[in-house]
Structure 1
Amino acid sequence: MIGTLRWNLYTGVAAFIITFVLSIPNNIWLTTFVRSCYSFIILFLLVFACRWLLGTFAGLNSLTAPQPPVMLDAAPEESSKGQAFDAMTPDEDQELHQMLKGSMNASAPPDQGFAPLKPPKLSTKVQPTPEELAQAVRQMSEE
């Protein structure tokens, strides 16, 4: 984030004063005061958001941020610690890749083209006899 909170305060106070001066002839003082407070809050947050966006995305915070002091007596590897990224992967990853590739090929069936699934057929329940249906109705009516 660039700058300080003074920018937010100055902008907010300016918005408060301008809104108050322009609104007092047309409104009662309480309405004018409330609207001026709203303009202060809105512009305070808007300037805060702009400062944050400029500081993070535009990289302007590096222009205002103080640079850390360089330690001359430190060892070279300690002063460059965290400054480089090693993108090389070890050779063990190649071996692991080959092992996984081999196990995948061993479990896969030979390529025979597309074969649709054959799900088991649904079985239907045997139709109850009329006597069983009558017995079921009698039991339901008793309950």
Structure 2
Amino acid sequence: MIGSWRWNVAFGLVGAVLTIIFSLSSNLIDVVLLRSVYAFISFFVVAYAVRLIFAQIVKPPSLTPSLHAKEEDKGAQLDLVTPPQTDDLNDLLKSQLTDTDVQQTEDEKSIKKEQEQQKQAEFKPLNPPQFVSSKNTEPEELAKAIRHLTGE
């Protein structure tokens, strides 16, 4: 529940004081005090009920247990932890060690050279077009171009 028993006491005192204020003018003092005690007890109990209802309303839905919640939450969370890659790294290092240790035959070397030559023959560097600038431009033409670009 939200709050403590002090809220109940405060709520009970408010009820007792209101009862005293409204019934003092028309009743004897002993009847007023008896009714204020009854009002205190009633308001004290009602405060527990109000606190219980308020706690149920304010409680976040994730904290309320539900049978179907597990099925509805499937796929709602994403696990961003990656598995360790130590085995892959170890295999890669071992393969590099065995490649340098094993003597390659002449046929394998020639096949690799041919493959590298084919890759180099297929490669063509990018040859972008060159920008052309005219060196003999008149100032009037440049001013006209600037006015056109700025929208004046």
Question: When the two structures are superposed, what TM-score results if normalisation uses the length of structure 1?
Answer: 0.40
Question: When the two structures are superposed, what TM-score results if normalisation uses the length of structure 2?
Answer: 0.37
Which structure's residues are more often helix, by fraction? 2
Q: Which has the higher Rg, Structure 1 or Structure 2?
A: 2
